[in-house]
Amino acid sequence: MTDYDILRVFCGPDGGHGNELGVVRDGSVLPERSDRQELAAKLGFSETVFVDDPERGVIDIYTPTLRLPFAGHPCVGTAWLLDVPELVTPAGVVGARLDGEFSWIEARAEWAPPRTLRQYGSPAEVDALDVPPPGEWIYAWAWQDEAAGRIRARAFPGRGDGIDEDEATGAAAILLTDRLGRALNITQGKGSQLLTAPQPHGWVEVGGRVYLER
């Protein structure tokens, strides 16, 4: 079996929750895309990362069913794991930094895969949502405290690949931050936390706590 690390990314203040991430530190053991896709499907994480150059931060990202040019929680987690100042993805170069307990990346909203950002009237409405049938990738959100930039969110990938709800979704948080044009403090899923901040020239930062499971 290929060696891989398991991280939880965007953990809550108590260290709980977060979105699991698989990272294969030595991507050379599976150089073919078909083999990487097969392993990602077998592991069943919302994303699995293959590191092709740990010093330069060159990475390759897969869901259980497809390859992604960019994704938020894989970049946040892998940047923390490798302790590098940037990651090289097919979408572009992602800046990375550590600030206390938070790992941050800087990316562009146009790199994120398409998501439907659907606003609801209250956090209770978001909490009450059932998983929708496969189809649209939906990021459901509502203001918890608009003045403070606090948001309640849930994410439904709609891919039909076994990931009915995504516990923490950095790319969607980047899209929402870009749309609203302000810093956000997002509680997603069962208790994950994502922090965001718009930056000059179309960049957005997203950060959170990362824990190594194994």
The 3 state secondary structure assigned to the chain is CCCCEEEEEEECCCCCCCEEEEEECCHHHCCCHHHHHHHHHHHCCCCEEEEEECCCCEEEEECCCCEECCCHHHHHHHHHHHCCCEEEECCEEEEEEEECCEEEEEEEHHHCCCCEEEECCCHHHHHCCCCCCCCCCEEEEEEEECCCCEEEEEEECCCCCCCCCECCCHHHHHHHHHHHCCCEEEEECCCEEEEEEECHHHEEEEEEEEEECC
CA distance 175 to 33: 27
Q: Does domain 5-106 have CATH number 3.10.310.10?
A: yes
pLDDT at 162: 83
Whole-prediction pTM: 0.94
Would the CATH topology of 5-106 be identical to that of 111-209?
yes
Q: Which fold would CATH assign to domain 111-209? A: Diaminopimelate Epimerase; Chain A, domain 1 (3.10.310)
**Per-residue pLDDT tens listing for the chain (214 residues):** 789 999 999 999 999 999 999 999 999 999 999 999 999 999 999 999 999 999 999 999 999 999 999 999 999 999 999 999 999 999 999 999 999 999 999 999 999 988 999 999 999 999 999 999 888 999 999 999 999 999 999 999 988 788 899 999 999 999 999 999 999 999 999 999 999 999 999 999 999 999 999 8
In the chain, what are the domain boundaries?
Answer: 5-106, 111-209
